[in-house]
A and B are shown apart, each in its own frame.
Chain A
Amino acid sequence: QKEVEQNSGPLSVPEGAIASLNCTYSDRGSQSFFWYRQYSGKSPELIMFIYSNGDKEDGRFTAQLNKASQYVSLLIRDSQPSDSATYLCAVMGRGNNRLAFGKGNQVVVIP
């Protein structure tokens, strides 16, 4: 089992709609959770981090964490064409400093 799994294929959403991305992780002791956005040919850019169960909102982005289910999600409200990118879920385990990444989900926002 991979440490971090993002299994959904490319996600196409109409402009103005909500994009929903999901991620599961295997290390129950993981404590820090991150979402990065990566445009084609560019390096990942941090957009959200969450440490506690529940929701965390930042502008049009909401991260949701459920440690019991080992599940973290990202919602993008009022999707814009500039949101078209690959979104990477990353998890930091207890007692270590490295990030384990999923393979990413591509989001395409259709004008």
Chain B
Amino acid sequence: DTGVSQDPRHKITKRGQNVTFRCDPISEHNRLYWYRQTLGQGPEFLTYFQNEAQLEKSRLLSDRFSAERPKGSFSTLEIQRTEQGDSAMYLCVGGGPTDTQYFGPGTRLTVL
């Protein structure tokens, strides 16, 4: 158990709906990442926070995606106007003072 929790664990939505995912890292994780993983592929980087500052966003993160980390604690990832191509596992990752990164259990999104 890495101490990183995510909610919900599964989400089924209809195309065009908005969804929001939450991640709660442990207090030592001043770095927080979101990755996305589709079947048969490795995780792909989406965005990175150092405390409350969003320092990097992938080109994969279209305007429909937004992430926040108020107060440098929990983080949310929102997808607006979902598309079937958004179906994936969304992984929150915590990182402390070293380079190591620890994955949460993930939120599996299915867009119908």
Residues of A near any B CB (own CB < 8 A): 4, 31-32, 34, 36, 42-46, 49, 51, 88, 90, 92, 96-104
Contacts and interface: CB of A to CB of B under 8 A. Distances in A.
Given A97-B48, A97-B95, A101-B42, A44 B103 contact: yes
Interface of B: 31, 33, 35, 40-45, 48, 50, 55-56, 58, 89, 91, 95, 99-106
Given A43-B89, A43-B105, A98-B48, A49 B99 contact: yes
B105 A4 contact: no
B contact patch SS: strand
Contact of A88 (B42, B95, B104): B42
Nearest to B101: A99
28 contacts: A4-B42, A34-B101, A42-B105, A42-B106, A43-B105, A44-B43, A44-B91, A44-B103, A45-B103, A46-B101, A88-B42, A88-B43, A92-B99, A96-B56, A97-B31, A97-B50, A97-B56, A97-B95, A98-B45, A98-B58, A99-B101, A100-B45, A101-B42, A101-B43, A102-B42, A103-B41, A104-B40, A104-B41
